[in-house]
Amino acid sequence: MPLVSIITPVYNAARWLPETLAAVRAQTCTDWEQLLVDDGSTDGSAEVVEAAARTDARFRLLRTAMNAGPSAARNVALDAARGRFIAFLDADDLWLPEKLARSTEWMMERGYDFIHHDYRHISHDGSRMGRLVHGPNELDLRTLHTRRGTGCLTVVIDRKGIPDFRFPTITPYRAEDFCLWSELIGRGHTGHRLPLDLARYRLLPESRSANKLGGALNAWCLYRRFSKLSRTHAALWWMQYAWSAFWLHRLARPR
């Protein structure tokens, strides 16, 4: 069985997949499988994955029955994953070569079952890079709601400590990763920051994260309806979140 299962939802990402697959293949930790779930792509993404799998059996192509969104695609991969550690990488993002080795070694040394690490934003073509982005040293309920910087591409989960988890398929919201981290924290798990720059988040004009106003309104709905915070509590934490998001966007965006 592989040590790490890498979960990658794929939707019309043929342009980015070769570089993303190359970044995974370049990992210094070689004991991994990457489960790439084609979510109804129409641009040849599945063919890119199939070609990679013919030369490296660690790449595995899975499919959803129809375009169902990243939560459903990730859950399909989780059901098929065989690794002890679960790591998340979207089809247009990148990892540095020591991402898996440093993350898993640090988790086993310290007994952590839920971690995140630092990263940087890059322009759509990868030519420009922003300042370092990092989340809180400890990701608890308060810091989850008030701090930006915990990117899904940085999170690693040890299934020895957290054996059963799935992404919630909550169609009214666009923050399935936030909802999962909230659930894990509610079950008594704290996310710990590995203070190393190990990933690159690609900024695309059409990505969900590009709509800042929509993201802010979405966060408010999450605080009130998903986290069920009081209006006062939600307003206090949302203002801190908005301030954190403003500075992250201002400082970390590639120039």
Q: Is residue 245 pLDDT above 90, yes or no? A: no
What is the per-residue pLDDT for 225?
83
> How many residues are present in the chain?
255
How far, in Å, CA of 245 to CA of 212, rounded?
9
Label residue 208 by pLDDT band (50, 70, 90). low
The dihedral formed by the CA atoms of 61, 81, 77 and 43, expressed in degrees to the nearest 10: -20
Cβ count near 190 (within 10 Å):
15
Longest dimension (CA), the chain: 56
Label residue 206 by pLDDT band (50, 70, 90). low
Residue in the structure block whose two tokens are 């993404």: 45
For residue range 69-80, list pLDDT tens digits in order. Answer: 999 999 999 999
The fourth-level CATH superfamily of domain 4-252 is: Spore Coat Polysaccharide Biosynthesis Protein SpsA; Chain A (3.90.550.10)
How far, in Å, CA of 253 to CA of 132, rounded?
10
Using an 8 Å Cβ cutoff, are 103 and 28 in contact?
no
How, if at all, do strands 156-158 and 85-88 pair?
antiparallel
Instruction: For 241, list phi and psi in degrees, rounded to 5.
Output: -60, -45
- Rg (C-alpha) for the chain, rounded Å, is 17
| Mean pLDDT, rounded, of the chain | 93
**Local structure of 122: helix, strand or coil:** strand
Separation of CA 124 from chain center: 17
For residue range 87-100, list pLDDT tens digits in order. Answer: 999 999 999 999 99
Residue in the structure block whose two tokens are 């059901």: 79
* Domain layout of the chain by residue ranges: 4-252
For residue range 155-203, list pLDDT tens digits in order. Answer: 999 999 999 999 988 655 568 899 999 999 999 999 999 999 999 999 9
pTM of the entire predicted model? 0.94
Label residue 207 by pLDDT band (50, 70, 90). low
Residue in the structure block whose two tokens are 């952590």: 112
- Residue with the bigger pLDDT between 255 and 17: it is 17
Q: Is residue 145 pLDDT above 80, yes or no? A: yes
